[in-house]
Chain A
Amino acid sequence: MGSVSFLSVTLTLLEGFLTTFLIFAVTLVAAIPLGLVVTFGSASKIKPISLVVRCFVWVIRGTPLLLQILVLVYGPGLVFGQQFYENSVGVMIAFIINYACYFSEIYRGGIESISRGQYEAGHVLGMTKGQVFFKVVLLQVVKHIIPPMGNEIITLVKDTSLVRIVGALMFLGTQHKEILGKSFEYVSVNALIWPLFYSGAFYLLFCGALTLLFGYIEKKLDYYKN
């Protein structure tokens, strides 16, 4: 064993920090615009689109990120017996989708806080819907959502620690298929996939109840506008 010095500890931590920063940066760069797409999707006038997107956001917001990482990293291996992408890709997809959904809800709140008069003013000045959004509304939305976005982004930094779970749970990998042989399927379906889904359902139920509660409070407070 090499000697553990302050320097070596610092270097190890810095190495870890690099991973953290990478996940952080990639997630932000991808989830910030993707969140806007999700916002537009859930506000779509085409009912099936908005329904599917809202449902998706509800599931993502209603289950733990940890579970989503596990499903994306190990899911394909367990279900199809082979992995289509690197573990790190699965982790990144999970982070990006998760944060895009949270961001989309923040955007929605920000967009709804802009007074109708701003849209109407743009409209009567002959602007297109896109121009009204990007030239008039967007910057005002940005100003409104900075505090909640700050919260969410700080949470993201801390959530990167969840990535450790992928390393710790290596035993779930497909490489064990050979060792386990026929029983691999039995183990994966009964001991892993169903428990994952079932625990997910519990979280979803709990969060679903909270979502309804907050929706109710939001509606209750809708009787006045500022």
Chain B
Amino acid sequence: MAVLEVKNITKNFGRVEVLKGIDFSLEKGEALSIIGSSGSGKTTLLRCLNFLETPENGEIYVDGECVFDAKTDKKLNAKELRNRQLNFGLVFQNFNLFPQYTVLDNVCLAPKLLAKNRPDFRANKKAIFAEIEENAREIIERVGMTSRIDMYPCQLSGGQQQRVAIARALALNPKILCFDEPTSALDPELTGEVLKVIRSLKDGDCTMVIVTHEMNFAKEVSDKIIFMDEGVIAEQGPPEIFDNPKTERLKAFLTAFGQ
């Protein structure tokens, strides 16, 4: 069964139709790359998955369970919305780390706040926090940031900040981890370290949706490619579509990227 199923998502900004009916599905452990030129709706689609935008139409299913239905969900209460959105994690283009917290605290903050909802929180606060911290240290190790665990974001390079941002998203153990152009704000020599981390997640069986302009990376890491153009999926398929694009639009797009 598909871990993620998106049906007929549409989104308007005022009179502009940004998404005109998006359908796709994703199996557990798969990596999906969404490519396309700026303004094609890639980022908006990702934001819809993460409940940062509310689609006008459509449904989203995670593990077969409906987490969003435009017909009924417009007036969901905040708590229910938060629970549903925790199925997803999001890594932003410009990191958005919390500047006043250290690397460790950036990763621990949200899990610690969420732990307050646990019925045994009062009794086991210390143990719960210790467990969260231990888990955070493990994840920070995975992204290779252990040596800078007590530093503040302003003391880190862009690539390091993005690796911490990935750790922060992983700490909540989302079923689907989304990346919004994770390397676009980085100097070319720093993109490698971030891509390496994402690649390692792929080996670790993480289900991912990646909006990216790194064509070679998308081709290498993805099980599935979606090419978006003017708010629709113009072409989708396995990474082989890079070599054999069926549509003129994808051909033109790839040519522009020098593929």
Residues of A within 8 A of B (CB): 115, 117-118, 120-129, 131, 135-136, 139-140, 143
Which residues of chain B are near A127, meaning CB under 8 Å? 82, 110, 113
Chain A residue with the shortest CB-CB distance to B94? A117
Find B89's partner among A122, A124, A139 (CB 8 Å cutoff): A124
Interface string of B143-169 (1 = CB under 8 A from A): 000000000000000000000000011
A121→B50 CA distance, assembly (Å): 11
Residues of B within 8 A of A (CB): 50-52, 78, 82-83, 85-86, 88-90, 92, 94, 96-100, 109-110, 113-114, 168-169, 172
Chain B residue with the shortest CB-CB distance to A116? B96
Which residues of chain B are near A121, meaning CB under 8 Å? 92, 96-98
Given contacts A129-B78, A131-B113, contact A120 B99 (CB under 8 A): no
Contact A118 B113 (CB under 8 A): no
Contact B82 A128 (CB under 8 A): yes
Find A124's partner among B52, B78, B83, B113 (CB 8 Å cutoff): B52
Contact B78 A128 (CB under 8 A): yes
Contact B100 A126 (CB under 8 A): no
A22→B169 CA distance, assembly (Å): 48
Contact B100 A140 (CB under 8 A): yes
CB pairs A–B below 8 angstroms (20 shown): A115-B96, A117-B96, A118-B98, A120-B52, A121-B96, A121-B98, A124-B52, A124-B85, A125-B109, A125-B169, A126-B82, A126-B85, A126-B172, A127-B110, A128-B78, A131-B113, A136-B98, A136-B109, A139-B100, A140-B99
Which 6 pairs of residues, A with B, have the shortest CB-CB distance?
A125-B110, A121-B96, A117-B96, A124-B90, A139-B100, A126-B86
Shortest Cβ distance from residue B18 to the other chain A in the assembled complex, whole angstroms: 17
> Secondary structure of the A side of the interface?
helix
Contact A125 B168 (CB under 8 A): yes
Chain B residue with the shortest CB-CB distance to A136? B98
Given contacts A121-B98, A140-B99, contact A126 B110 (CB under 8 A): yes
Contact A124 B99 (CB under 8 A): no
Contact A120 B86 (CB under 8 A): no
Shortest Cβ distance from residue A167 to the other chain B in the assembled complex, whole angstroms: 46
A162→B216 CA distance, assembly (Å): 71
Most chain B CB within a 10 A radius of its CB, from A115, A118, A135, A139: A135
Shortest Cβ distance from residue B7 to the other chain A in the assembled complex, whole angstroms: 22
Which residues of chain A are near B113, meaning CB under 8 Å? 126-127, 131, 135
Contact A123 B114 (CB under 8 A): no
